[in-house]
């Protein structure tokens, strides 16, 4: 372990007044903090790009005081941006009243949020909610729901190629990319994949031996690729004919990200999973089971969670939903998303744009690069140097998932900077 340097705030020196990231950062520069990170945290994320210490709206600042426009929002999590006053005040108030109680008990905020989600999703009579801490945990619960439905007679589960559902063992078993799955095999069995958006392939795969079909309306990790028109309706029809469940993964796309409450609005799934934007930055997820028969598949003792649905998390989610409903935010998502997509499409260095509200993927021109050198990671690095946080789900694909409250002027700052960022990235690749 690295030796403490002069002025460093070591663990033994921590005091209540110093337990915030901005105060801790005052004792040491970002590079030194990154060294301590490497010495003390498991390296599953690689080395972080920066040490961030505070944020406001769509802007964050690092330990050196540099400012960034956050166009990723913690991977589509910070729906209202950083330090939204309603969320922070509700979290503080609820924390000061009742924090964690376990699921031996319930709380008014837990009940109110469940009722609100059932209302927003237009779930049929008899529908229920199970709260989790994350998207992968929501999909893990959905996996067990499918197993309970299928039993030994329906051992197969169908997922889509290029889909991503999380990194816990059940959710990972549903995830397509072999590089994610293979180091951890054997995984829970019975999962098969069909080409995304291919109705004929799905129809050929689904019969009375299938417990469930799991589908993302828009595949974010695949580069923000939506399903073809009518595909979700076809999934509904095929699963209903075969007696299989239709499970919709709205972890990234739900809660307003696309300009609607859910990207699958208009389709009636048997279950829906949520997370990311639900808590406005506070960790919370949910599984919604639709209808009485599906909701009875998991009974007392068959599933659970220690932290899921605690009063603070559910209060944060209620505050987030209230702000989305009352502030015209969904209209902002549609308007700013469309303007950004049009502006990106007009750039010479952009070859394709796939926009669904404020979940935007775009491909960049990598002509002239040697061999198969990936350009997108270099653009992410150059964008960071220029003060923009974005991410690269593919070798030539970038993803934008900013706060849903971001302004058109802020998005245009990035679009206008893109030619210089693209040029610098090509020169350094």
Per-residue model confidence as pLDDT tens for the chain (429 residues): 445 555 566 777 777 777 788 777 777 788 889 999 999 999 999 999 999 999 999 999 999 999 999 999 999 999 999 999 999 999 999 999 999 999 999 999 999 999 999 999 999 999 999 999 999 999 999 999 999 999 999 999 999 999 999 999 999 999 999 999 999 999 999 999 999 999 999 999 999 999 999 999 999 999 999 999 999 999 999 999 999 999 999 999 999 999 999 999 999 999 999 999 999 999 999 999 999 999 999 999 999 999 999 999 999 999 999 999 998 999 999 999 999 999 999 999 999 999 999 999 999 999 888 777 899 999 999 999 999 999 999 999 999 999 999 999 999 999 999 999 999 999 988
71 belongs to a structural domain? no
Q: Which residues make beta-bridge pairs with 388?
A: 69
CATH of the domain at 304: 3.40.640.10
Specify the pLDDT at position 3: 55
Say yes or no: 204 and 314 in one domain: yes
Task: Find the length of the chain.
Answer: 429
Residues 368, 251 within the same domain = no
Do both 95 and 225 map to the same domain? yes
Q: Which residues are annotated as a binding site?
A: 135-136, 164, 167, 249-252, 305-306
The answer to the question of residue 62 being in a domain is: no
Measure the CA–CA gap between 231 and 287, rounded to whole angstroms: 22
The answer to whether residues 297 and 354 belong to one domain is no
Cis amide prior to 310 (ω within 30 degrees) = no
Residue 152, in any domain of the structure: yes
CATH number of the domain that residue 388 is part of: 3.90.1150.10
d(CA 31, CA 63): 9
Strand partners, 128: 289
pLDDT at 428: 87
State whether 172 and 235 are in the same domain: yes
Residue ranges for the binding site for N(2)-acetyl-L-ornithine?
Answer: 167, 305
Give the total number of structural domains in the chain: 2
| Residue 350: inside a domain | yes
Distance CA 82, CA 98 (A): 24
**What residues make up the domain containing 356?**
329-428
Binding residues for pyridoxal 5'-phosphate: 135-136, 164, 249-252, 306
Give the gyration radius of the chain's Cα atoms: 22
Contact 146, 239 (CB under 8 A): no
Q: Are residues 298 and 350 in the same domain?
A: no
Residues 318 and 250 in one domain: yes
For residue 65, tell me if it sits in a domain: no
Whole-number Å distance between alpha carbons of 194 and 196? 6
Please check whether residues 120 and 266 belong to one and the same domain.
yes
- Across-strand partners of 82? 57
In a domain, 9, yes or no: no
Identify how many contiguous H helices and E strands the chain contains and give both numbers. 15, 17
From 270, 298, 326, the end of a domain falls on: 326
Structure confidence at residue 371 (pLDDT)? 75
Q: Show which of 296, 326, 356 is a domain's final residue.
A: 326
pTM above 0.75, yes or no: yes
């Amino acid at each position: 372990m690295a030796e403490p340097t002069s002025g460093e705030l070591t663990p033994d020196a921590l005091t209540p007044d110093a337990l915030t990231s901005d105060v801790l950062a005052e004792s040491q520069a970002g590079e030194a903090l990154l060294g301590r990170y490497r010495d003390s945290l498991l390296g599953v994320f690689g080395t972080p790009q920066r040490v961030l210490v505070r944020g406001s709206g769509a802007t964050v600042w690092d330990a050196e005081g540099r400012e960034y426009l956050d166009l990723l929002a913690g991977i589509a999590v910070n729906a209202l941006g950083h330090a939204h006053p309603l969320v922070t005040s509700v979290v503080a108030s609820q924390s000061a009243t009742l924090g964690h109680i376990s699921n031996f008990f319930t709380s008014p905020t837990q009940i109110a949020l469940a009722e609100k989600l059932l209302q927003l999703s237009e779930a049929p009579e008899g529908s229920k909610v199970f709260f989790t801490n994350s998207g992968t945990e929501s999909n893990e619960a959905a996996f067990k729901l499918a197993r309970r439905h299928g039993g030994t007679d329906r051992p197969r589960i169908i997922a889509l190629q290029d889909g991503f559902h999380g990194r816990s063992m059940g959710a990972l078993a549903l995830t397509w990319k072999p590089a994610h799955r293979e180091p951890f095999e054997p995984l829970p069995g019975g999962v098969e994949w069909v080409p995304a958006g291919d109705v004929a392939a799905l129809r050929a795969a689904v019969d009375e031996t299938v417990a469930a079909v799991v589908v993302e309306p828009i595949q974010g990790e695949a580069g923000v690729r939506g399903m073809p028109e009518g595909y979700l309706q076809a999934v509904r029809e095929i699963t209903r004919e075969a007696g299989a469940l239709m499970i919709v993964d709205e972890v990234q796309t739900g809660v307003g990200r696309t300009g609607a409450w859910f990207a699958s609005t208009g389709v009636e799934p048997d279950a829906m999973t949520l997370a990311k934007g639900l808590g406005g930055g506070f960790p919370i997820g949910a599984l919604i089971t639709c209808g009485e028969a599906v909701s009875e598949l998991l009974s007392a003792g068959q599933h659970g969670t220690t932290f899921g649905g605690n009063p603070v998390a559910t209060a944060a989610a209620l505050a987030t939903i209230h702000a989305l409903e009352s502030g015209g935010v969904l209209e902002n998502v549609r308007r700013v998303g469309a303007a950004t997509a049009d502006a990106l499409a007009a750039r010479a260095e952009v070859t394709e744009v796939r926009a669904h509200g404020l979940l935007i993927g775009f491909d960049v021109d990598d002509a002239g690069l040697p061999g198969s050198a990936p350009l997108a990671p270099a653009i992410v690095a150059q964008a960071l140097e220029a003060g923009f946080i974005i991410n690269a789900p593919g070798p030539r694909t970038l993803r934008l998932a900013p706060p849903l409250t971001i302004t058109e002027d802020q998005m245009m700052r990035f679009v206008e900077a893109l030619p210089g960022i693209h040029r610098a990235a090509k020169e350094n690749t």
